């Protein structure tokens, strides 16, 4: 999991939140049937996206001085 997280460095928030939104819309428009697996995938992508957004905030990406 750590290797995947590092591989996605810099794009985690966008990738995870976009994946979550696409899955939610696919369920909404009956492209994909709603199931526990899809709900789990939506939850995981939202959690990872939220975690990476928090990580950006913690490092100072939303201030004038950028973090490392």
For position 65, what pLDDT does the model report? 64
Alpha carbon distance 66, 34 (integer Å): 40
pTM passes above 0.85: no
Cα 50-52-21 angle, rounded to 5 deg: 45
The total number of structural domains that make up the chain: 1
| pLDDT bucket at 4, cuts 50 / 70 / 90 | confident
Is 67 within a domain?
Answer: no
For position 52, what pLDDT does the model report? 84
Give the domain range for residue 29: 2-59
Measured in degrees and rounded to the nearest 5, phi and psi for residue 67 equal: -85, 175
Is 65 within a domain?
Answer: no
Measured in degrees and rounded to the nearest 5, phi and psi for residue 56 equal: -60, -45
Is 64 within a domain?
Answer: no
For position 66, what pLDDT does the model report? 57
The answer to whether residues 26 and 32 touch, using CB atoms and an 8 Å cutoff, is yes
Convert the pLDDT of each residue in 12-66 to its tens digit. Answer: 888 999 999 999 999 999 999 999 999 999 999 999 998 888 877 777 766 666 5
């Amino acid at each position: 999991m750590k290797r995947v997280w590092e591989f996605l460095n810099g794009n985690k928030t966008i990738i995870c939140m976009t994946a979550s939104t696409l899955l939610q819309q696919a369920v909404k428009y009956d492209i994909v049937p709603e199931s526990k697996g899809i709900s789990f995938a939506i939850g995981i992508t939202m959690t990872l996206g939220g975690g990476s957004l928090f990580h950006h905030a913690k490092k100072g990406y939303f201030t004038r001085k950028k973090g490392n």
